[in-house]
């Protein structure tokens, strides 16, 4: 009997007569109410199981009792066993009629057996015979329409089960126990989920601290290495300058190539250090963005054309510049915009042996775009996926034809993204490449 059915029966009896006959109602009403209140006080699963089983053994005057619950795999799993003194029983003692437990769970209906050894209408199992069991009460634990387990008690003593006092009370207990156990399971799952979340958060916090520490160490290391490299290079530059002052004009002419090699090698080292530090700052997030209104023509591109014209002339390359968007105003970080186009223009000249490099500013809908086009070596389709990967170059190793550390395009791409711009590339191997960078147009 469910507790709700018991309440309805009690109400109907009271409504039918001012002096109701309680013979049809379990006479241990106070006990039932106490049990219901008691088992719903706790949300700790172990406490609920212990309390429920103690009541089950007590009200049926059984020798022992067990609770089995359905696990995540849908199988019944031993949870607790107690004897009539409240002593916990080992799982090995759970040698009861598994057929009774299984039948009750599958059918979802209680089973009460008197004189189990003598009643041949029951399928008397070997466990019943071996344990000399006489009285068995077993009820399913059901919440709503979901079965969550079984509660079972037995005794070697032959007892006459009083239907109105024991079986209905036992079923009420089973019904309320199912609710209390389910609530405790939900609470237990919430606690586990909360602890798992706390543990995950702690691991994330530790990982974040480790990452920040690693980034700090990397930044400090690179800064220290930068200092250690810059200092001797500056000394070399200083003494080279002093040596030049000691030479007369003829000697300077004879040693010009030597001095130029020293200067170019030093600049190459300094540029490599600066580029690595720049990439490190980007990757660790140690970089500030200060957007301002910029005129691409007057503030950025014109100066870069003047800066790179000598390098193009040195390689006998034509450097074309076309501005088709006068008043091309954008909102971006000045340093980053200059760096991104500097690196794109530097690459275009470096990877072009003959022909031209062309820079074009133009408008496209609500965008201001800059194309940097060359007639250089081009990029293979296979390498396109690696184009913006740090320290990556299409030709690697000591036999490569071009200098560089593979950071220029990676840095340019990061700066473009940080300024909400877009970049695309079209290239044909051995014919040339065109990079297009587009910004949102800003009206003054």
Say whether both 320 and 280 belong to one domain.
Answer: no
Q: Quick check: 229 and 266 in contact, CB under 8 A?
A: no
Band of residue 97 on the pLDDT scale cut at 50, 70, 90: low
pLDDT score for 404: 63
> Of 245, 263, 284, which residue sits at a domain end?
284
Angle at 388 between CA 228 and CA 363, to 5 degrees: 115
Say whether both 164 and 264 belong to one domain.
Answer: no
Q: Quick check: 230 and 277 in contact, CB under 8 A?
A: no
> Of 192, 227, 246, which residue sits at a domain end?
192
Say whether both 254 and 129 belong to one domain.
Answer: no
Say whether both 115 and 10 belong to one domain.
Answer: yes
Say whether both 272 and 351 belong to one domain.
Answer: no
Query: 16-61: per-residue pLDDT in tens?
Result: 444 333 344 445 566 777 777 887 787 888 888 999 999 888 888 8
pLDDT score for 343: 93
Task: Please give the share of the chain, as a percent, with pLDDT higher than 90.
Answer: 36
Higher pLDDT, 92 or 370: 370
Query: 414-431: per-residue pLDDT in tens?
Result: 999 999 999 999 999 999
What's the CA dihedral at 75, 77, 83, 86 to 10 degrees?
-130
Sign, Cα dihedral of 364, 370, 373, 379: negative
Say whether both 241 and 162 belong to one domain.
Answer: no
> Of 245, 268, 284, which residue sits at a domain end?
284
Q: Quick check: 126 and 99 in contact, CB under 8 A?
A: no
Domain count, the chain: 3
Q: Quick check: 387 and 409 in contact, CB under 8 A?
A: yes
Say whether both 314 and 250 belong to one domain.
Answer: no
Say whether both 122 and 235 belong to one domain.
Answer: no
Higher pLDDT, 235 or 160: 235
Say whether both 234 and 342 belong to one domain.
Answer: no
Say whether both 396 and 261 belong to one domain.
Answer: no
Say whether both 116 and 32 belong to one domain.
Answer: yes
Band of residue 123 on the pLDDT scale cut at 50, 70, 90: low
Give pairs for 406-409: CB < 8 Å, separation 24+: 407/275, 407/276, 407/278, 407/279, 408/275, 408/343, 408/346, 408/347, 409/343, 409/344, 409/347
**Can you tell me the distance from the alpha carbon of 200 to that of 312, in angstroms, rounded to the nearest whole number?**
56
**Can you tell me the distance from the alpha carbon of 287 to that of 127, in angstroms, rounded to the nearest whole number?**
76
Write out the residue range of the structural domain in which residue 350 sits. 291-440
Beta strands 318-323 and 356-364: pairing type? parallel
Residue 283: helix, strand or coil by DSSP? helix
Sign, Cα dihedral of 272, 275, 281, 287: positive
To which H or E segment does residue 176 belong? helix 168-246
- CATH number for 97: 3.30.450.40
**Can you tell me the distance from the alpha carbon of 308 to that of 353, in angstroms, rounded to the nearest whole number?**
15
pLDDT score for 20: 36
Residue 356: helix, strand or coil by DSSP? strand
Sheet holding 64-70, edge to edge: 76-83, 64-70, 146-155, 135-143, 111-113
Predicted TM-score of the model (pTM): 0.51
**Can you tell me the distance from the alpha carbon of 170 to that of 174, in angstroms, rounded to the nearest whole number?**
6
Say whether both 40 and 89 belong to one domain.
Answer: yes
Burial of 71 (0-12, 13-18, 19+ CB in 10 A): exposed
pLDDT score for 402: 62
């Amino acid at each position: 009997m469910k507790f709700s059915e018991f309440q309805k029966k009690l109400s109907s009896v009271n409504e039918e007569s001012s002096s109701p006959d309680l013979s049809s109602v379990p006479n241990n009403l106070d006990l039932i109410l106490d049990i219901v209140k008691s088992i719903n006080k706790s949300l700790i699963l172990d406490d609920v199981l212990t309390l429920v089983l103690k009541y089950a053994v007590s009200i049926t005057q059984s020798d022992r009792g067990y609770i089995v619950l359905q696990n995540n795999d849908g199988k019944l799993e031993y949870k607790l066993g107690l004897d009539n003194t409240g002593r916990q029983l080992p799982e090995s003692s759970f040698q009861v009629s598994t057929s009774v437990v299984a039948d009750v769970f599958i059918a979802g209906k209680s089973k009460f057996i008197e004189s189990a050894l003598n009643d041949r209408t029951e399928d008397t199992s070997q466990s019943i015979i071996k344990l000399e069991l006489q009285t068995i009460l077993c009820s399913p634990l059901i919440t709503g329409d979901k079965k969550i387990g079984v509660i079972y008690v037995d005794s070697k003593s032959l007892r006459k089960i009083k239907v109105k006092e024991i079986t209905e009370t036992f079923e009420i207990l089973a019904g309320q126990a199912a609710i209390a156990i389910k609530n405790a399971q939900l609470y237990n799952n919430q606690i586990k989920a909360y602890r798992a979340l706390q543990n995950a958060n702690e691991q994330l916090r530790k990982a974040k601290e480790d990452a920040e520490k690693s980034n700090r160490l990397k930044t400090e290391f690179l800064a220290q290495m930068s200092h250690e490299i810059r200092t001797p290079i500056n000394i070399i530059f200083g003494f080279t300058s002093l040596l030049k002052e000691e030479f007369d004009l003829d000697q300077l002419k004879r040693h010009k190539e030597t001095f130029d090699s020293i200067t170019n090698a030093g600049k190459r080292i300094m540029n490599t250090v600066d580029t690595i530090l720049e990439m490190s700052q980007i990757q660790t997030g140690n970089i500030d963005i200060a957007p301002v209104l910029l005129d691409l023509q007057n503030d950025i591109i014109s100066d870069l054309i003047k800066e790179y014209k000598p390098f193009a002339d040195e390689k006998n390359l034509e450097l074309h510049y076309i501005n088709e968007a006068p008043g091309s105003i954008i909102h971006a970080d000045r340093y980053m915009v200059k760096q991104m186009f500097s690196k794109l223009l530097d690459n275009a000249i470096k990877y072009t042996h003959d022909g031209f490099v062309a820079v074009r500013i133009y408008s496209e809908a609500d965008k201001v775009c800059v194309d940097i086009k060359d007639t250089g070596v081009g990029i293979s389709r296979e390498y396109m996926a690696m184009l913006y990967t740090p320290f990556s170059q299409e030709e690697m190793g000591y036999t490569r034809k071009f200098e560089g550390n593979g950071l220029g395009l990676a840095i340019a791409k990061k700066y473009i993204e940080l300024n909400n711009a877009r970049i695309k590339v079209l290239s044909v191997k051995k014919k040339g490449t065109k990079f297009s960078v587009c910004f949102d147009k800003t009206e003054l």
